[in-house]
Amino acid sequence: MIFVGNEPQISFFLIAVAVFFAFAFAFLIIPLFLRQQKKKLLPLAQQIGGEVIASLFKGVYLLFPYQEAEARVVLRTGGQNSPPRTILELNRSAGFHLSITKENPLTRALERLGLSEIKVGDPEFDRKYYLYTKDKTQAINLLSDPKKRALIDQLFKAGFEQVQMDEQKIWCSKIGHTLEADFIRQNFEKLYKLSQM
């Protein structure tokens, strides 16, 4: 390599400055952000009980026991193209994967293409929701119960946009940070009842 003038020193200086700002971001800004998120959950933790956890890799969440399961209230901050979200997670296995969203133009287009359309036999429910699963039999067995369909209706009426379950947990997600203790308790009760097979 041939260097003319002070190019190696300038390159080294620019790399050193970039590394400094990367460390400053990682060790100053991110922890400050996590503390701010943690403050949002502390009042709820005092009302419901449990512990607020702030992790660089898992984010900020409230962890508490619910019935015989572990429950989490997770705050997602969102970004430029995605809004902040509140996620309720209950660590109870459904034994299979099922994703439920409201019908929308995209899901209707997927239905027209014949992709994973599941009907449970309730015309109103089938019109309102799009179901995705690889185990149609288990999904239909679960949702053939009118009480389970009513619980899903109630979660969507409470503002949740998605309900999912799999081999490890059942969870629902809504736009915005909703942290009222009664709201959280009521919707964890719905998730718990929905997870009972």
Task: Kindly provide the residue ranges of all beta strands, DSSP E only, lying in the chain, ordered along the sequence.
Answer: 51-55, 59-66, 69-76, 85-90, 98-102, 129-133, 160-165, 170-175
Residue 9: its pLDDT value, please? 63
- Pairwise CA distance, residues 94 & 187, whole Å: 17
- For the chain, percent of residues with pLDDT exceeding 90: 45
Residues 86-123 pLDDT 10s: 999 999 988 899 999 988 777 777 777 766 568 888 99
- Pairwise CA distance, residues 180 & 160, whole Å: 15
Higher per-residue pLDDT: 160 or 58: 160
Residue 2: its pLDDT value, please? 47
- CA-wise closest residue to 170 among 110, 107, 100: 100
Higher per-residue pLDDT: 163 or 79: 163
